[in-house]
């Protein structure tokens, strides 16, 4: 039933590539998977669906445009401490995370509720402020009851609101400068074989480094694809021999 429901949402929404279907099912982002440590306490609360934790074909959060058909009521007023106190060593300004990064942080910042779902599967389950479903963050040893916000537990998956020790996001990519900082390569540089990215966002033949950017900026999704469960930490390219890093930094 899970696979049929998931496939139905894909067909209706048209968000994911076909390859993403097999990869998110059973991954750490499958919050309906009863084997995951962080998950719905009762997957039946969402009809065992996978997509419902982030997306909905109807009644989405129109106040948030960072991700398509967003199914979470999130606090977009959260202010983050950014890398370098707002400036990289190369002199590039680091802004607050863009909306697409805030989509990731809506689970990973330890502030927004993981278990907030605006439109529950079925009829009569819509709430603009989000339904807080029963959740567990310790594999079922304890349950956070419905109606109570569940936040990401301490650990590597809780990035927090202090982003000073993380790769900057919300930062303009300056690879096309005459003297680019951080040995950045030009945006028209071809991506390595095996790099997973859909579409051509910068309007140039690709895929290229420019296709990884959002509004010309590096964001969480420049390196991670939340649907790509086959790679560790959902990386778009395995970082063996620093291959991912060297995609943009010609060190």
8 Å CB contact between 60 and 72 = no
Q: What are the distances in angstroms from CA 219 to CA 46, 56, 143, 241? A: 29, 23, 33, 22
Q: Alpha helices of 142-231 — where are they, by DSSP H?
A: 220-223
Exposed e or buried b for every residue in 28-51, given b needs 16+ CB within 10 A? bbbbbbeebebbbbbbebbebbbb
What is the mean pLDDT of the segment spanning 154-174? 96
Whole-number pLDDT of residue 160: 97
List the one residue out of 32, 70, 34 whose CA is nearest residue 54. 70
What are the pLDDT digits (tens) for 139-159? 999 999 999 999 999 999 999
Q: What does pTM read for this prediction? A: 0.88
pLDDT value at 18 more than 70: no
Whole-number pLDDT of residue 168: 97
8 Å CB contact between 210 and 217 = no
Phi, psi of 242 (to 5 degrees): 60, 30
8 Å CB contact between 107 and 114 = yes
What is the mean pLDDT of the segment spanning 67-85? 95
What are the pLDDT digits (tens) for 95-153? 999 999 999 999 999 999 999 999 999 988 999 999 999 999 999 999 999 999 999 99
The fraction of the chain above a pLDDT of 90, given in percent, is 80
Whole-number pLDDT of residue 13: 39
By DSSP bridging, strand 135-136 and strand 217-218 are unpaired
Phi, psi of 118 (to 5 degrees): -70, -50
Return the structure tokens found at 50: 């996978």
What are the pLDDT digits (tens) for 229-244? 988 899 999 999 999 9
Whole-number pLDDT of residue 204: 76
Beta bridge partners, 55, equal: 70
Domain coordinates in residue numbering, the chain: 173-251
What are the pLDDT digits (tens) for 198-229? 777 777 778 999 999 999 999 999 999 999 99
Side-chain half-sphere exposure of 127, counting CA atoms within 13 A: 12
């Amino acid at each position: 039933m899970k696979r049929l429901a998931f496939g139905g949402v894909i067909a209706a929404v048209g968000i994911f590539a076909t390859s993403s279907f097999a990869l998110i099912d059973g991954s750490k982002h499958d919050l309906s998977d009863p084997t995951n440590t962080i998950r719905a306490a009762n997957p039946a609360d969402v009809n065992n669906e996978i997509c419902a934790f982030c997306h909905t074909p109807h009644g989405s959060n129109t106040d948030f445009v960072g991700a398509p058909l967003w199914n979470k009521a999130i606090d977009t007023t959260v202010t983050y401490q950014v890398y370098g106190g707002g400036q990289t060593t190369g002199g590039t300004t680091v802004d607050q995370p863009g909306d697409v990064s805030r989509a990731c942080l809506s689970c990973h910042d330890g502030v927004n509720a993981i278990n907030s779902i605006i439109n529950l599967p079925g009829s009569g389950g819509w709430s603009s402020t989000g339904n807080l479903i029963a959740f567990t963050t310790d594999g079922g040893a304890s349950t956070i009851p419905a109606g109570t916000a569940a936040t990401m537990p301490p650990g590597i998956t809780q990035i927090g609101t202090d982003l000073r020790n993380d790769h900057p996001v919300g930062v303009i990519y300056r690879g096309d400068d005459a003297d680019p900082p951080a040995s950045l390569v030009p945006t028209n540089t071809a991506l390595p074989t095996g790099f997973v990215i859909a579409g051509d966002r910068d309007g140039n033949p690709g895929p290229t480094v420019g296709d990884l950017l959002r509004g010309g900026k590096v964001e969480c999704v420049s390196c991670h694809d939340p649907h790509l469960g086959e790679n560790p930490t959902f990386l778009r390219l395995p970082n063996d021999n620093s291959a991912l890093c060297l995609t943009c930094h010609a060190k």
